[in-house]
């Protein structure tokens, strides 16, 4: 049965779109039962509504504490019947109340190679630092920011001529491939967490099979359909 997912967003929702597209293509065996935004102006709400997906705005400013906000999120997500939660550009930190309710069932994507450049401006900070490689990370969410066990990472070359925008765009293109892949693995029950290590069952390819001369590196390797 497709895994019922709640997706939490704050902005454009291009990662939400990439997951919707891979669900539609049959590559991800999941169903998005609810999209929640903390920002009523988030374009991702429109993307969801266009696909007939239920949406809800839970504006953090209306709550007097993080714990109350967490409870409202939790109520919405559980009422929708979600069995896992996907953070797709959700720019709020989830507190222990929420995180403990979905142990190893919350994924986040971050636009940098964690543990480097955690925080709200991962790609911008990496460009400013002048790194030669950057990328993106999908990880399980724990109680610390941008910290939980890593599911998949993609690395891209960064150039001295890169601006925050050009590097972020290159990274975003890979986010749109690795995030649906990670969700597919979660939905298929192929991820097992042991301490900080995430084991992928039935890994089907090896790094040696990555396209020669590819301008990016993804590990574990992307499978067919991603």
Please tell me whether residue 207 adopts helix, strand or coil conformation. helix
Residue selected from 7, 8, 106, 111 as contacting ligand GAR according to rule CB under 6 A: 111
Residue 89 has phi, psi (to 5 degrees) of 75, 30
- 172-198 as b/e, with b when 16 or more CB fall inside 10 Å? bebbbbbbbbbbbbbbeeebeeeeeeb
Determine if 180 is a binding residue for ligand GAR (CB under 6 A): no
Q: C-beta of 108: minimal distance to ligand GAR in Å?
A: 7
Give 9 or 36: the residue with its C-beta nearer to ligand GAR: 9
Residue selected from 3, 5, 6, 14 as contacting ligand GAR according to rule CB under 6 A: 14
- Provide the H-helix boundaries in the chain: 14-24, 43-50, 66-79, 96-99, 122-129, 164-187
Q: C-beta of 110: minimal distance to ligand GAR in Å?
A: 5
Nearest alpha carbon to residue 183 among 9, 34, 15, 10: 15
Residue selected from 6, 8, 13, 70 as contacting ligand GAR according to rule CB under 6 A: 13
Determine if 88 is a binding residue for ligand GAR (CB under 6 A): yes
Please tell me whether residue 8 adopts helix, strand or coil conformation. strand
Give 162 or 175: the residue with its C-beta nearer to ligand GAR: 175
Residues 25-44 that bind ligand GAR (CB under 6 A): 44
Sheet holding 133-140, edge to edge: 55-57, 30-37, 3-9, 84-87, 106-110, 133-140, 150-157, 216-219
Question: Catalytic pick from 110, 121, 176, 199?
Answer: 110
Nearest alpha carbon to residue 181 among 124, 224, 217, 141: 224
Q: C-beta of 116: minimal distance to ligand GAR in Å?
A: 13
User: Residues touching ligand GAR: how many (CB under 6 A)?
Assistant: 16
Q: Say whether 110 is catalytic.
A: yes
> For binding to ligand GAR (CB under 6 A), which residues are involved?
9, 11-15, 44, 88-89, 109-111, 120, 122, 172, 175
Active-site residues, by number, are 110
């Amino acid at each position: 049965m497709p895994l019922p997912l709640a997706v939490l967003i704050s902005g454009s929702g291009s990662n939400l779109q990439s997951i919707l597209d891979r669900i539609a293509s049959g590559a991800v065996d999941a169903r998005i039962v609810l999209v929640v935004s903390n920002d009523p102006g988030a374009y991702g709400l429109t993307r969801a509504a266009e696909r007939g997906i239920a949406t809800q705005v839970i504006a953090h400013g209306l709550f007097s504490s993080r714990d109350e906000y967490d409870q409202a999120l939790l109520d919405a997500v559980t009422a929708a019947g979600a069995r896992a939660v996907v953070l797709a550009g959700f720019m709020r930190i989830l507190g222990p109340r929420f995180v403990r309710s979905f142990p190893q069932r919350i994924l986040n994507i971050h636009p940098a190679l964690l543990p480097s450049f955690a925080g709200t401006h991962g790609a911008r900070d990496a460009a400013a630092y002048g790194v030669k490689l950057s990328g993106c990370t999908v990880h399980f969410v724990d109680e610390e920011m941008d910290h939980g066990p890593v599911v998949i990472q993609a690395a891209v070359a960064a150039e001295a001529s890169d601006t925050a925008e050009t590097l972020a765009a290159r990274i975003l293109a890979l986010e749109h491939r690795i995030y649906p892949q990670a969700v597919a693995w979660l939905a298929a029950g192929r991820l097992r967490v042991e301490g900080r290590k995430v084991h992928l069952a039935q890994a089907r390819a090896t790094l040696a099979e990555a396209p020669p001369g590819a301008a990016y590196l993804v590990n574990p390797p992307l499978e067919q359909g991603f």
